[in-house]
Amino acid sequence: MAQPSSPISARLRWSLFTVLCVAGVFNAMDRPIIAILKPDMMADFGWSDSDFGDLAAVTQFSAAFAFLFTGWLVDRLGVNRSMQVGATAWSLAAVAHGWALSTAQVVAARVGLGVTEAVQTPLTIKTVASLFPPDKRSFAFGFATMLAGAGTIAMPFVIPALALAVGWRGALVAGGIGGFLSLLAWMWLARGVAQLRERTLADSPDPGGESARYGAILANRATWAIVGAKALSDMTWWFINFWLADYYRKEFGLTTLELAVPLAIAFAGSGLGALLAGWVSTRLLERGHSPNRVRKGVMLASALLVAPLPLVLELNAFWPVAVMIGVVMAGHQGFSLSLFSTITDVVPNAKVGRVTAFGAFMGNMGGVAISLITGRVLDAGFGFVPLFIFAASSYLLALAWFQWLLPVIRRPEEEAVDLFA
């Protein structure tokens, strides 16, 4: 049966969602900080490329492991309490970086941050499923990604200034402070909004029984369609996030300050791609096109945007490379938006958190793999060629996998039965 939209006002709905998205910007702030300030950290600790890849992999693995539990937590607590618990935890973990004085302490802080920030993804998807009607969700996802992209665009300009003022540790602490401020804004807006706790696992007749288990979710082909496509596509996403700054340094000799503009172009492409994909998806759905045609059509178009990526290796001019990377990032976000939208299409609300988290787990495991592989490929002297070739094909492979396991996307009202029951 279709989920009813929340009766709260549109203004409050969008205000709450905007605050959640801003909190997500601070949640994810540590990744570009680490990438942009890599030379400073390597100088402090004497790391190699493999060491940096290992650190990235540790963070990814911690988040991946945590996703096995955070989806259940979000389904169990509901949107409001999950926001309070999650934002508090990841903000504390970010602040802990201020006391990291050795490699072991950095690793411990990264593990803590990876575990706690894993609340954000299932929380965001469940919030969209709870606050917005089905045909509006793609635009909400696009808006969230656009806002995250805007924050990421600002970071290459803000982070070096922060690092000059308070060091790389202080820059990470600033992300934690921002998380606490976002939480206070959420709590003020959410006071008395009972709808944010509706349709949670805790409200089910047997919160500790069958509905709380992963068995039915793991037995469903739709789950594996989503998580397999997520793993393949996210390998490229994490590769670009962790290694794009390093690529620009090695290929074009850019300094940390000079990285600001090309990284801003990349993440501008990311945000605009998501917003455009969300807007197009919403318009097509409102005009009566089926979710199956809309989701897969956007995925195909997005995959084709990424396919020319190896051409950047043939370009000697910096600006065409920067623009092409921006187009690739737009393609990723269009693909990812359609995957997340599919979750809200086919998964009952009480299970959205767990399916989303399992998909994020697989995506992060892909990130672990690509982080380990990239560091060793570069140390072995192979350069970026094999990595870019894989990245170009990963989305088409993901779409083929998705189509094989989920040939038709149908919403619950079209199925007449709950496939995840």
- For residue 116, the one-letter residue type is T
What pLDDT score was predicted for residue 220?
Answer: 84
The answer to whether residue 56 is domain-embedded is yes
Per residue in 225-250, is it b (16+ CB within 10 Å) or e — as a string? bbbbbbbbbbbbbbbbbbbbbbbbbe
pLDDT for residue 51 is more than 90: no
What pLDDT score was predicted for residue 37?
Answer: 74
Mean pLDDT score, 402-417: 73
Confidence of residue 413 (pLDDT cuts 50, 70, 90): low
Per residue in 339-368, is it b (16+ CB within 10 Å) or e — as a string? bbbbbbbbbbbbbbbbbbbbbbbbbbbbbb
Reference 401, options 299, 302, 317, 313; nearest CA is: 299
pLDDT for residue 212 is more than 60: no
The answer to whether residue 145 is domain-embedded is yes
Who's near 216: CB < 8 A, 6+ residues apart? Answer: 210, 420, 421
Q: Alpha carbon of 30 to those of 175, 210, 249, 274, 414: distances in Å? A: 7, 37, 20, 21, 42
Mean pLDDT score, 323-330: 90
Confidence of residue 306 (pLDDT cuts 50, 70, 90): very high
What pLDDT score was predicted for residue 194?
Answer: 55
What pLDDT score was predicted for residue 170?
Answer: 81
Cβ atoms 327, 309 nearer than 8 A: no
Structure tokens at 67: 């996703």
Q: Alpha carbon of 255 to those of 49, 149, 185, 252, 261: distances in Å? A: 17, 22, 37, 9, 11
Confidence of residue 380 (pLDDT cuts 50, 70, 90): confident
Reference 87, options 190, 177, 191, 174; nearest CA is: 177
What pLDDT score was predicted for residue 400?
Answer: 96
pTM value > 0.85: no
What pLDDT score was predicted for residue 358?
Answer: 84
Scan for tokens 């469940």, then name that residue: 126
- For residue 136, give its domain range: 10-199+213-406
Confidence of residue 419 (pLDDT cuts 50, 70, 90): very low
Structure tokens at 244: 């794009």
Mean pLDDT score, 379-396: 88
The answer to whether residue 415 is domain-embedded is no
Round to whole Å and give the CA distance between 214 and 216.
6
The answer to whether residue 17 is domain-embedded is yes
What pLDDT score was predicted for residue 205?
Answer: 44
What pLDDT score was predicted for residue 63?
Answer: 77
The answer to whether residue 412 is domain-embedded is no
What percentage of the chain carries pLDDT values higher than 90? 15
pLDDT in tens, 159-205: 778 878 877 778 878 888 988 999 999 998 887 665 555 444 444 44
pLDDT for residue 301 is more than 70: yes
The answer to whether residue 300 is domain-embedded is yes
Confidence of residue 297 (pLDDT cuts 50, 70, 90): very high
What pLDDT score was predicted for residue 349?
Answer: 74
Round to whole Å and give the CA distance between 309 and 153.
21
Q: What is the CATH number of the domain that holds 182?
A: 1.20.1250.20
What pLDDT score was predicted for residue 316?
Answer: 75
What pLDDT score was predicted for residue 394?
Answer: 93
pLDDT in tens, 134-145: 778 888 888 887
pLDDT for residue 154 is more than 60: yes
What pLDDT score was predicted for residue 420?
Answer: 33
pLDDT for residue 300 is more than 90: yes
What pLDDT score was predicted for residue 139?
Answer: 85
pLDDT for residue 208 is more than 70: no
What pLDDT score was predicted for residue 405?
Answer: 93
The total of structural domains in the chain comes to 1
What pLDDT score was predicted for residue 140?
Answer: 84
What percentage of the chain carries pLDDT values higher than 70? 89
Confidence of residue 292 (pLDDT cuts 50, 70, 90): very high
Q: Measured in Å, how far apart are the chain's first and last C-alpha atoms?
A: 13
The answer to whether residue 2 is domain-embedded is no
pLDDT for residue 113 is more than 90: no
Of 89 and 158, the structure prediction assigns the larger pLDDT to 89
Mean pLDDT score, 356-380: 82
pLDDT in tens, 53-104: 777 778 777 877 888 888 888 888 888 888 999 899 988 888 887 787 787 8
